Amino acid sequence: MRLSQRQIEIFNAVMIYKSTLAAAESLGTSQPTVSREIRELEKYIGFELFNRFGKRLTPTNQAQLLHKVVSRSFVGMQEISRAAVAIKQHNAAHLRIASLPAYAEAFLPLVAERFLKKRRQVHLSIHSLEEVPLQHDLTTQIFDIGLTEGSFDNIDATAEVINLGEVVCVLPCNHPLAAKRILEPRDFEGADFVYFTQEDPYRRRIDQLFEAESVSRRYCVETTTATGVCSMVASGVGVSIVNPLTAAHYAGKGIVLRRFSIPVPYQLNLWRPAKGLRSPYADQFANVMREVALEVVKKMESL
């Protein structure tokens, strides 16, 4: 016995529709067939995917983890389907962009609005991914543009570094530290601090600076995205230090910005496929992105 594409399709449908009957209807097959294929899949992989309560199916934790991988493969299939439709309609102007969540939420909307204003015929697909899965997907060559914080080896793509100034201190509007224009590490002694996760390279860099100054911050909460950090800060949970793109997006939305006394440069890596045809629209999108990035830097200088 071997794993089949049909079993993966059925598993994906059951995870989406939450029932074997709805999954069967979506796939044009019968409910007994769906149930049988799910049991065969469980037998093959060696663990249960669903807890069964009568006719109800509840995904196990293992099923949730497996579906994260499966759903990404279906994204690729959906891209192929959309491309085929576009070609049939003589409109293959379709850009696929893979981005960190911070850029997808606080930066790319500005770029997309300006880009599409004069190019209504172009369709944008923006996929928001964390750094590790994003690195993997860049190797598949299914994206026209990739946006990351880090630089990677062994990726068949070319990278351009875009400088975006320095990381910025973010504070709740009524925080005592907001009285200062420039914040030094010692100002954060004992302060409630919102952290990024340990895997974040800028988290490690900031931690090293505070450790070098023997400053202890109070660990409040950690989160994976800069937008998550700023939402916590805006709610008064604590203070933090984030990238200038997200800081500029949140300025005046329950948050004030202050310069950090130790400059920590912040860079965005723009990836393009090294092989194959490059869309002229991708070149134009990259140009608009550079324009917006420069405007963000100037806005941060004025703030």
Give me the residues paired with residue 153 across strands. Answer: none
Residues 6+ apart with CB under 8 A from 106: 226, 227, 245, 246, 248, 249, 250
Domain over 93-163+267-302 is classified CATH 3.40.50.2300: no
Answer for the pair 224, 128: CB distance below 8 angstroms, yes or no: no
Domain ranges of the chain: 1-92, 93-163+267-302, 168-263
Q: What is the pLDDT of residues 215-230, one digit of tens each?
A: 999 998 999 888 899 9
Answer for the pair 169, 239: CB distance below 8 angstroms, yes or no: yes
At 74 the pLDDT is 67
Query: What's domain 168-263's superfamily in CATH?
Result: Periplasmic binding protein-like II (3.40.190.10)
Does 168-263 match 93-163+267-302 at the fold level?
A: yes
- Residues in the chain, how many? 303
At 77 the pLDDT is 61
Task: Return phi, psi of residue 222, to 5°.
Answer: -130, 150
pTM listed for this prediction: 0.65
- CA 285 to chain CA centroid, Å, is 19
Q: Which CATH number fits domain 1-92: 3.40.50.1100, 1.10.10.10, 3.40.50.2300, 1.10.3720.10?
A: 1.10.10.10
Look-up of token digits 């409109």: 91
90, pLDDT greater than 50: no
Q: What is the pLDDT of residues 120-151, one digit of tens each?
A: 778 888 888 777 667 666 666 677 888 888 76
Residues 6+ apart with CB under 8 A from 30: 24
